[in-house]
Chain A
Amino acid sequence: MWIYEKKLQYPVKVSKCDPRMARYLLEQYGGADGELSAALRYLNQRYAIPDKVIGLLTDIGTEEFAHLEMIATMIYKLTKDANVEQLEAAGLGANYAGHDHAFIYRDPEGFPWTAAYIQAKGDPIADLYEDIAAEEKARATYQWLIDMTDDVDLQDGLKFLREREIIHSMRFKEAVEILKADREHKKVY
């Protein structure tokens, strides 16, 4: 089961109202390789993967929910003081018309989050490579988001998340090696 902790994993600050960046951040909220996809992907893979990597998938999957909350906090702070004109100018007019300031799991283009973003092949190596790819794609997006803003406070939070993608990718690569070694071990003995 899960327990909620009433704090962010890393502090989120923004230095200005910026609905334009908020919209782009939706990529990491409800996008294909966003934090929601990541959390659900890893936690869902646990039921058909060797025991040795279940702990890692549990831990990274759980951390992704903490990241989802950080992204939501960024979007919240970037839009809370925005008026309708500012939201419209940022391409969030449709969101305002349908949902005011409410959050929807969808990407910057407005495409709703879909379970089709989640892969679970049932082959441990295939699934872990999928996870490594997802982390690298998320890392790339974080870099582009950092490049798209001059808000150093927002950049700070995004840089933390970018670094976490790198660590997750490393750990998944190590998990692949652990499973490969295990497989070799079984062949020999």
Chain B
Amino acid sequence: MADNEVREDLADSGKAEGTVNPEERARGDEIYRRELMELQKVDFALVELNLYLDTHPADMQAVQQYNQLAQRRLQMCAAFELKYGPLMHFGHSYTRYPWQWIETPWPWQV
């Protein structure tokens, strides 16, 4: 499977050797990318609404939509992070032991 090859490549690079457990290996595979895309969609909608609201602060409907999506984002992030580790640093995400933040893949490696 192509995904396995990708993961083997990551392991073969030696950079994450011995530090990757099976669960974390899921990061970078097809399911990971699909779930990431779902999050990216919601996040993009939030960016768009945010910019729109910056110049239309009195649009009640947009405000409601923003808050709804913000809540949905929170739930999606919680589920995503439980599976794949922290999305954010500086205390905005929880971590398991050992410290998960330094795990691959980084965005440009996905």
Chain A contact residues, CB within 8 Å of chain B: 1, 3, 46-47, 50-52, 54-56, 58-59, 62, 186
- Please tell me if B101 contacts chain A, counting CB pairs below 8 Å: yes
For residue A51, which residue of chain B has the nearest CB? B15
A55 touches B15 (CB 8 A): no
Chain B contact residues, CB within 8 Å of chain A: 13-16, 43, 88-90, 101-102, 104, 106-108
Distance to closest chain A CB from B101 (angstroms): 5
B104 touches A59 (CB 8 A): no
A sample of 25 cross-chain residue pairs with beta-carbon separation below 8 angstroms, ordered by A number, consists of A1-B43, A1-B107, A3-B88, A46-B106, A47-B108, A50-B15, A51-B15, A51-B102, A51-B106, A52-B15, A52-B102, A54-B102, A54-B104, A54-B106, A55-B89, A55-B101, A56-B102, A58-B89, A58-B106, A59-B89, A59-B90, A59-B101, A62-B89, A62-B90, A186-B14
Residues of A within 8 A of B88 (CB): 3
For residue B19, which residue of chain A has the nearest CB? A52
Interface of B is mostly: loop
Provide the bound-state CA to CA distance between A52 and B101, in Å. 11
- Other contacts beyond A50-B15, A54-B106, A59-B90: 13, CB < 8 A: A1-B43, A46-B106, A47-B108, A51-B15, A51-B104, A52-B15, A54-B102, A55-B89, A55-B101, A56-B102, A59-B101, A62-B90, A186-B14
Provide the bound-state CA to CA distance between A52 and B106, in Å. 11
Residues of B within 8 A of A46 (CB): 106
Residues of A within 8 A of B104 (CB): 51, 54
Query: Which of B16, B90, B107 contacts A51 (CB under 8 A)?
Result: B16
Residues of A within 8 A of B15 (CB): 50-52
